[in-house]
Structures are given as C-alpha cells and as structure tokens.
A and B are shown apart, each in its own frame.
Chain A
Amino acid sequence: AAAVLMLCMFAVMGKAEGSVAREEWHGHVTALSVAPEFRRLGLAAKLMELLEEISEKKGGFFVDLFVRVSNQVAVNMYKQLGYSVYRTVLEYYSASNGEPDEDAYDMRKALSRDTEKKSIIPLPHPVRPEDIE
C-alpha cells in the first residue's frame, strides 16, 4: 500500500553567498504524511531521522518545518522528536471555504553544526508570511 509520502527539499535561505556565514543553511521539511492505517508505527520518526541525517551530512545548521497551529497531533509528535517552536507565522495557511486563514508554527531542531543552538532561540514576536525569506 502507498503508506508514506514525503517530499524533502534542501532549501537555502537568503542569498547563496551569505547563507553559510549567517548560519542559515538548513534542511527543510516540505511535507510529511503517513496513511491512517500505518500510523503509530514510528514511520514518521524514521523519515525525520533520515532527513536529519542528510541535513547533518550536508552541513546544515538546523532542520525546520511549518505546521498548522491547530494540528496538535503533529505539533506534539515533532516536539517528541526534539523540535521546538521557533516562531509563529501569522495567517500562513490560506483557507478555502471562507474560513479564516490559519497561523503556522515554524518549528526547528538544531543540528550538531550549530554548537550553541543559536538557530532555535525562539523569537519574541510572531511574524507575517511576507517577512519570512
């Protein structure tokens, strides 16, 4: 059965030259999903582990992802995997059916290259989608 679908992308923030110097070179989780019947088997953790491993090898400072604030199941799972909320992005998800837009958590986990774990110090204020690069 098509149990798992995951799209990983290695994203560079900012300009290519500045990225490493500004310690913004990182791995990004675009999407992660596990079919309902294959949940609670630790598959998501395995996939995240794989992405983190690759991000380590590529010399990233951290791994990040966006998740709906309402998606408590996912938020808790990421917390268990060592991720923490770095900032809230207001109205990041545009809603259909006339419901209000939804905020996202930008969650991060520091990799070994970020020895002082600077990349995950939470921002004090939420940001707007247009302010994130």
Chain B
Amino acid sequence: ADYLDNGNNKMAIQQADKLLKKHKDLHCAKVLKAIGLQRTGKQDEAYALAQEVAALEPTDDNSLQALTILYREMHRPELVTKLYEAAVKKVPNSEEYHSHLFMAYARVGEYKKMQQAGMALYKIVPKNPYYFWSVMSLIMQSISAQDENLSKTMFLPLAERMVEKMVKEDKIEAEAEVELYYMILERLEKYQEALDVVRGKLGGKFICQLIITVCMAMYKKLCRWPECNALSRRLLLKNSDDWQFYITYFDSVFQLIDESWTPPLEEEHSLEGEVHSSIEQAVKFIEERISEESKSSRPLRGPYLAKLELIRRLRCRGCNDEYKLGDPEELMFQYFKKFGDKPCCFTDLKVFVDLLPSSQYTKFISQLLEVIPLSAAAESEIALPADIKALQQHLCVVQLSRLLGIYHAMDKKQKLTVVRELMLRYRHGLEFGKTCLKTELQFSDYYCLLAVHLLLDLWLEEGEEMAVWQCLTLLEEGLSHSPSNAQFKLLLIRIYCRLGAFEPVAELYSSLDAKHIQHDTIGYLLTRYAEALGHYAAASQSCNFALRFFHSNQKDTSEYIIQAYKYGAFEKIPEFIAFRNRLNSSLHFAQVRTERMLLDLLLEANISTSLEESIKSMSLSPEEDDIPWKDLRDNRDLTVLFNWDPKDRDISEEHRKLSLEEETLWLRIRSLTLRLVSGLPTLSHTVQPKNSEKTAENGVSSKIDTVRSLLQQLEAAVDSGKKFLEQKIQYPVLGPPPTRMAGFFSNGSCQCQTSLFYLVSDIYELDTNGLEDSAEIQERIGNSFKSLIERLTDLFNKCKGDLIEIRDGTLKTQPNLLENLVFFVETISITLWVSSYCDGVLRPFKSNLQKKKKKKKETNVAMPPVFTHFLDYVTELQTLTSNVIDHIKGLEIILTALKLEELSLKDTLLLQEEKKFTKTVQGKVQSSYHHSVQEIGELLKKRLDTIKKLKI
C-alpha cells in the first residue's frame, strides 16, 4: 500500500503478487494489485480482478475500502453501492457499513435508497443525524421529481410528518434539524407555520442562521408589510448602514401607503412593533438617521444614500420636492465632499446620476472639481493632488465625467488632450504607491485605464489607427507598475485578440491565475480566439483547462454533498446540485467539447491516425447529440471588464440575449459539422462479410439517411445564422466578442463545406448504384468537383493581402486575413476527408474494371468520366494547396523582414518611455502573426502530403 501511496505502481503490483503467491485468497492484496493495474493503464485487467473479489462479497474493511478507492478511480461509483449492499446483507448490524452504503447512494444520487438506508441506520443506532439524513433524502426526491404535484402532496408532507414526530417527542437536538424543518415548510409554502417554528422554542437552536433574516423572508412571502416595516425600522435603528433593510423599509412604506393601511387604535401596530406608513414618517426617519450619523465614530454611507434613494422613489411616484428632502445635485455634492476619497464613491453615486438633469452635468462636474485640493506648480501646468485622498476624489470625478458622457461628446483633439492629462496624472499618482507590494494595485491605475478607454473610442469610432497601439502601450506600461492589475490584463487580452495576436494572450491569461468556476465564466476570452487565429497548440490547451474543470465537477460536487450530509449543512445540498446542473448545461462547456473534437480531427485525422480511428477514439457518432440545447445557459461573465460608459453605451440585457442566440446558432453549425464528419467513415463498407451483405446494406443506408438529415439541419442552421447576421448587431466594444460565424459566411467556407456534404450524398448514390447507367450522377459529381475548386480558390483569394505593413508611418494590420486562412485550412481538411471517402468508393470500381479489361483483353473498355473528373480534381487540389503554402511562406518572409525599428513614431504624441513600450507591443503582434502563420503552414503541409495518397 505504501508503494501505491508513493505512486510506485509497478512495485505495488509486484508486492501484491508476492503476497498472493503465499496466500492465494488474500482479497485485499488482489484489490491493491488491481489499483496498481488501474493506475498503470490496465483498466480491463483491473476491472476483472476487482470483480473477482467483489463477487465474493467481502466484508473485511480493508478490501471494502480498497475497492471503494478503485471504483472511484474507475469513475464507477455505482459499483460501490453494490459492494456495500452485499456487505450490509451479511453484516446487518454494522453501523459503519450502513453509513458507507448511504454515502455511496449519495454519490450517485439514489435518493429513495438513501431514505431507506438512513432509516435502516437509525434503527440500528438511534442517532438523530441518521433520521434526518432520511428526511433530507425525501426533500431531494421532491426536488428531483418531475411531477411537482407528487412532490407537494407526497414527498414533502411525508418529510414534514417525520420531523413533526421528532418535535412531538421532544427529540430535536441540532440547529441543522430545525433548518431542515424550515426548509420543508418553506417548500410547502407554509410560511405561517415556518414563521411559528422560527419564532417559537425551536428557533432558539439557530446559531448560524439569524432568526431575523428568516422572519423577514417569511414576512415578505406572506406580504405582512407592517411586520416587514417594523422589523426593518428596528434593525436600522441598531445599524443605520445596512442597505438591504433600507430597501425593505422603503418597499414596505410604499406598500402600506398603497394599501391605505392604518394602525390599529388599541393594540400594537404589528408583531414587530411600531409601523411607519406615511411619506412624512419615512422622511423624518431618514433625516433622523442622518443626524444620528454625525454622532457615529466612523462615517456611515447608508443614511445619505438612503435619502437619495427615497428621492428617487418619490420621483418615480410623481413627487418632486414636496417633502423638502433637498436638491439631489446638492446632496450628491455633499456626499462627494464626505466620501469622495473612498474608492467606492463612484459606484455609490452611479445609481443616482439619473436624478440630475443632463443640462447640469458640466456644472455638476466643475462643482466637484472645485472642492478637490489640487495644486499646480505653475500657472500653465495641470493641478495635481498632494495626497492619496485628493487623488481618489479626483479619480471619482473623472469616472463620473465618463459616465455622464462628457468625454464622449469631445472631438478628436480634445480627447487626445484628456488622454495626455490622464496619463500625466497616472504617472504622478505612482508616487503615492511606491511602497505598494507587487500584489497591491497602484492608487492611480484607473487613470491609465480611463485613458485607454478614450483611446479605444478614437480607434473604433473615429478610425484612428495609431490609437490602438497607444492603448496597448499604456496598458503594458500600467502593467509593469501594477503587475497584479487584472483589469489591465483583461483589456490587453481583448485588444490583442481583436488585433489577431494570440501569442501574448496565453501568458497574460495564465498570470490571471483563473481558477475553478472562472474556467467557465471567463474561459471564452481564450477559446473564442486561440483556434480562430491559428494557435492550435494553445487552443488545445485552452480547451483542456476548461474540460478538466467541467469533468471534475461531477466528482467534486458529489464530495461536497457527502460533506454536507456529514456536517448537517442540509440547505447547501440543493445548492450543490443546482451548481452541478448549471455547469453541465453551460454553453461554454458545450462549445469547448465540440471545438476540442473538431480541433483534434483537424490536427490528426488522416495525418497521424485515420479519420475512422480518430472518430472511434472520441466515441463520436453522427446520431448522437449530447448538447442540452433547451437548457443551454450562458455562464460567461460579460461584465468582467470594467467600464464607465453611460447606460446607452453599456452592455444591455438585449446584448446578452442576442449574444447567447448568436453563440447558440454558431454552436449548432459547428456541432452539425462535427457530426457530419463523424458520419463519413460509417458510409464506406470496406469490411463486409459476403453472406450478411443484405443486413450491412441496410445498416449503411440508414447511415446515409442520418447524414442527409444532418445536412438538412445544417442548411437550416446556416439559414438561421444568416438571418441573425442580417440584423447587423454591434455589441459594445468591451461586451461579448462576436462569434466566427460572420467570417464563416462571408469568406465562403460555409458554401464550400455544405457543398462538400452534398457531394458525399452523390458519391454514396454512385456507390450503391454502380457505374452503369450513372452518367447523370457522374456528371453531377464532376460539376461539383469543378465548382468546389472554384470556391476554394475564391476562399484562398480572401486570404490574400498584407497581414501587417507599414503605411504612412503607422503599422496597419488585417487580422481577418488570418481568420480566413484558418478557415481555409479547416475547409481543405474537410475536403480531403470527403475526397478520401470518394477515393474509397472509386478505387474498387477501378480495380474491377481493370480486372475485366484483362479478362476480356479488350482495349476499348471506356474509362467512366468520373475517374478523370476525380483525377483532375485531385491535381487541382494539390496545386491550390501548394499555392497556399507558397503564399504562407511569402507571409513568413514578409513578417521576418519587417523592420519595426524603421517605424519612426516621430509623428506621434508619444513620450520617449512610451515609445519603448510601443516597440514592444508591435514586436509582440509581429511575432504572434509569425507564430500563427507557421502553425497554419505546418498543418497545411501535412494536409498536402495526404493529397498525394488520393491518386487512384
């Protein structure tokens, strides 16, 4: 066993063998050997050996535990349940084995059996947790039940009765048990009963869960606004800085007003005490909170923000200033004076800028600027902050200016002036952060980021080419001073990708140290571009990061669930299940699954292994669709990049919806392409025993039906995709990146690929029909060959042009040429797979003909035209591919020869130290293009070699 722990599996196997020689039937040694086998890749032997032991239904602890480990490593948790089912049958009073059995069921989600196992345990050892394991399993049955009625009329009431029984017998011990009771009542919508439980004796068990939060939730469910109001009022008296209670307080006041609620004359207002039910009371209450705040030892933001919130709500109801709360502009100004030096000031005020009339924006901003203590060294110079507080205040104003659209309204020259000013302030602000650690952010980082946002506007809205290089320059400079700033990295990633340069991105992303769920939420930043830009190795790696996470999710969540049972954290269990489902139906998961397989085929199929073997090793089949289309959910974090844009420029719900729609359409096209390719090997009947020809024929003919139906679906998907693109949606610059779909349609790859699959259908027809009387099909195939070559040539033409060049002193790039080149390689690969199918069909025909020729010794047996068509086609394919390879070689030469040092940069506003960074970023882009072109070229060369095998 020590050897196993140390990872020395071979030694472990040897030792186990030694032991087995002495003691033939030492189960445990056998299992240990099996673990060794499993870990050395001998899965089948390991399984056989394990089953040998399992068949004996062992009851010794060592064997059971070792088998459990083995089955888990084999990803066969269901076998563990069988193991312990047998063990408890033999040792029916073992608490340990019963509890292992329960956990084994928990791992595979066998809720009904868990319920029984829990009760069985409780009967052996009447410990409360066992009883409640059983109750929880009932809740899980209710959650997983398809039929909601069944869950509400059977599972939950049963669970309720089980708990009630314990309550009556006064056996409730732990907080978890009361929580479980509450969970059941809440799910049954018995809110009143839940409230009674929590407010009663049992509520006293609550420690982690706060009674008031639970009560508040129930009051809301029951629409008991007087109680909501009184409770939140009381809580605000205790802590006037808790925002959620202000929200409840306001909600309830206005609800009560709308209901014309009046307090009862005699009794208490409510269960929770005094109730406020008029605007006057609310205004007075908030004003009191503000005057209380002045006595507080540390300034509290809550009361001031609450006042603004109240104004906002009153305005929504048509009240302007009847209640003398004050002018929002003045209140925000006061707020800024008090909290402007806190980094959160901008976010706090952002919510309330709608209260300002747009005519006041400029005035408001200058009002704020006036109160910041800035000092200029000379009249003409920019006034700078003298300390961190002043810097924060100024930064807040800059952020607000962007939010109010003040920069957006500027012309090009003004924008550039602001950029210069912001960068000056940025560099000056670094003074204050000299003692900052590497892991801390610099105080002035946002200045740099805001300057870059302005430059992005110049680049994308005003077509200022130079601006993009300046963006990268400033960000690289910023990153050098603040190496932990994730925003710098994220923005660099987006911009480099937009420029078609993936090479720097891999390192930036890895320095973000994305973990766990982030592979799902921000992984798209990598996977959208890596393959599209021809960085195939990096693309594989990016997919692997994500897939490793998604695949371990299944196992990990089971582990969390087990822990939750052990520690009685019952309310977490449904959350873990929901989390697992959320990941399993992730759009990104489906995308990386599909793209990973397409990529593997692209890199390997018919190069290192045959297409057929590749597809088999991926267990792909054209009939199978494992994507949960209906439940597909977008887990991407589309707001991971900061922005300070006004609402009308920000990412909206509509953008999210459209982006998900676009991604789904594109995924459908990709997934259908993959399935169509996986259908190719199923069509050829190379190995076919003669006597079963008939059945095999049937089998294949159903395969062609599958392929034809998939082709129809592809056509439909392409149509929907085209319709979608007709809307010409422009996402915000930092919003969701558009998919590759537009390029796929416009460069002609789409037409090539669909016509290839039609060709498959025709060739199949020729195959089943035979050569005789097939002139029409042969001609059709011949025409397809010709038009295919034309289309591929068109696609190649779309790849021509200067990827990068120096024009008018600036560096110009055309990254779309790279994307087109990648599409070309993919399309030519599919072309070759189809051609190889074609070759497989024609070859036997030809050899048959030649045999006939020899037999009859006739010289005038005419070769059917399809052979010539095919040969011509293959020759042209070869020429075309060679041309593309030459073109790529040309690109490589240009990229190597391009001397960026010759770029003068003299005409720019760049400072000397900035020029250094500019050279670096331009060098990175150049090197990345070179890398792309090399990888694409190498792959294409390998593809060219496979063409040579096609000459029948």
* Nearest Cβ on chain B to A59's Cβ, whole angstroms: 10
Q: How far is the CA of A2 from the CA of B440 in the complex (A)?
A: 20
Assess the A37–B208 pair: CB atoms within 8 A: no
B262 at interface by CB-CB < 8 Å:
no
Partner of A1, one of B342, B347, B513: B347
Instruction: List, in ascending order, chain A residues with CB within 8 A of B510's CB.
Output: 96-97
Partner of B513, one of A39, A58, A96: A96
Q: How far is the CA of A39 from the CA of B388 in the complex (A)?
A: 14
Assess the A73–B511 pair: CB atoms within 8 A: no
B158 at interface by CB-CB < 8 Å:
no
29 contacts between A and B (CB under 8 A): A1-B347, A10-B567, A36-B343, A36-B441, A37-B343, A37-B346, A37-B347, A38-B344, A39-B343, A40-B342, A40-B343, A41-B342, A41-B344, A42-B298, A54-B207, A54-B208, A57-B207, A58-B207, A70-B437, A70-B439, A71-B439, A72-B437, A73-B437, A73-B439, A73-B440, A96-B510, A96-B513, A97-B510, A97-B511
Give the top 4 A-B pairs by smallest Cβ distance, nearest first: A37-B343, A57-B207, A37-B344, A38-B344
Which residues of chain A from 38 to 90 have a CB within 8 Å of any chain B CB? Answer: 38-42, 54, 57-58, 70-73
Instruction: List, in ascending order, chain A residues with CB within 8 A of B298's CB.
Output: 42
Which residues of chain B from 407 to 458 have a CB within 8 Å of any chain A CB? Answer: 437, 439-441
Q: Mark A15-53, 1 if CB is under 8 A from B, else 0.
A: 000000000000000000000111111100000000000
Q: How far is the CA of A57 from the CA of B343 in the complex (A)?
A: 35
Q: How far is the CA of A38 from the CA of B346 in the complex (A)?
A: 11
Interface size on B, residues (CB 8 A): 16
12 extra A-B contacts, CB within 8 A, seeds A37-B343, A37-B347, A97-B510: A10-B567, A36-B343, A36-B441, A38-B343, A38-B344, A40-B343, A41-B342, A54-B207, A58-B207, A70-B439, A72-B437, A96-B513
Instruction: List, in ascending order, chain B residues with CB within 8 A of A72's CB.
Output: 437
* Nearest Cβ on chain A to B406's Cβ, whole angstroms: 21
* Nearest Cβ on chain A to B898's Cβ, whole angstroms: 31
Tell me whether chain B's interface is mostly helix, strand or loop, or mixed: loop
Which residues of chain B from 903 to 939 have a CB within 8 Å of any chain A CB? Answer: none
> Contact residues of A with B, CB < 8 Å?
1, 10, 36-42, 54, 57-58, 70-73, 96-97
Q: How far is the CA of A96 from the CA of B567 in the complex (A)?
A: 32
Instruction: List, in ascending order, chain B residues with CB within 8 A of A1's CB.
Output: 347
Q: Mark B187-230, 1 if CB is under 8 A from A, else 0.
A: 00000000000000000000110000000000000000000000
Q: How far is the CA of A70 from the CA of B436 in the complex (A)?
A: 12
Instruction: List, in ascending order, chain A residues with CB within 8 A of B437's CB.
Output: 70, 72-73
* Nearest Cβ on chain A to B337's Cβ, whole angstroms: 17
Q: How far is the CA of A97 from the CA of B347 in the complex (A)?
A: 34
Instruction: List, in ascending order, chain B residues with CB within 8 A of A97's CB.
Output: 510-511
Q: How far is the CA of A10 from the CA of B513 in the complex (A)?
A: 27
Q: Mark B558-575, 1 if CB is under 8 A from A, else 0.
A: 000000000100000000
* Nearest Cβ on chain B to A15's Cβ, whole angstroms: 13
Q: How far is the CA of A36 from the CA of B513 in the complex (A)?
A: 17
Residue of B whose beta carbon sits closest to that of A40: B342
Residue of A whose beta carbon sits closest to that of B511: A97
Q: How far is the CA of A80 from the CA of B764 in the complex (A)?
A: 78
Which residues of chain B from 111 to 155 have a CB within 8 Å of any chain A CB? Answer: none
Which residues of chain B from 851 to 870 have a CB within 8 Å of any chain A CB? Answer: none
Q: Mark B476-517, 1 if CB is under 8 A from A, else 0.
A: 000000000000000000000000000000000011010000
Instruction: List, in ascending order, chain A residues with CB within 8 A of B343's CB.
Output: 36-40
Instruction: List, in ascending order, chain A residues with CB within 8 A of B440's CB.
Output: 73
Q: How far is the CA of A57 from the CA of B208 in the complex (A)?
A: 9
Instruction: List, in ascending order, chain A residues with CB within 8 A of B342's CB.
Output: 40-41
Q: How far is the CA of A42 from the CA of B296 in the complex (A)?
A: 14
Most chain A CB atoms below 10 A, which of B298, B342, B441, B510: B342
Instruction: List, in ascending order, chain B residues with CB within 8 A of A37's CB.
Output: 343-344, 346-347
* Nearest Cβ on chain B to A78's Cβ, whole angstroms: 16
* Nearest Cβ on chain B to A12's Cβ, whole angstroms: 8
Q: How far is the CA of A97 from the CA of B509 in the complex (A)?
A: 12
Q: Mark B308-346, 1 if CB is under 8 A from A, else 0.
A: 000000000000000000000000000000000011101
Instruction: List, in ascending order, chain B residues with CB within 8 A of A41's CB.
Output: 342, 344
Q: How far is the CA of A58 from the CA of B174 in the complex (A)?
A: 11
Residue of B whose beta carbon sits closest to that of A71: B439
Instruction: List, in ascending order, chain B residues with CB within 8 A of A38's CB.
Output: 343-344
* Nearest Cβ on chain B to A37's Cβ, whole angstroms: 4
Instruction: List, in ascending order, chain A residues with CB within 8 A of B511's CB.
Output: 97
Residue of B whose beta carbon sits closest to that of A59: B207
Instruction: List, in ascending order, chain A residues with CB within 8 A of B347's CB.
Output: 1, 37
* Nearest Cβ on chain B to A56's Cβ, whole angstroms: 9
Q: How far is the CA of A96 from the CA of B513 in the complex (A)?
A: 8
Most chain A CB atoms below 10 A, which of B344, B346, B347: B344
Q: Mark B501-542, 1 if CB is under 8 A from A, else 0.
A: 000000000110100000000000000000000000000000
Which residues of chain B from 681 to 727 have a CB within 8 Å of any chain A CB? Answer: none
Q: How far is the CA of A96 from the CA of B510 in the complex (A)?
A: 9
Instruction: List, in ascending order, chain A residues with CB within 8 A of B441's CB.
Output: 36
Residue of A whose beta carbon sits closest to that of B208: A54
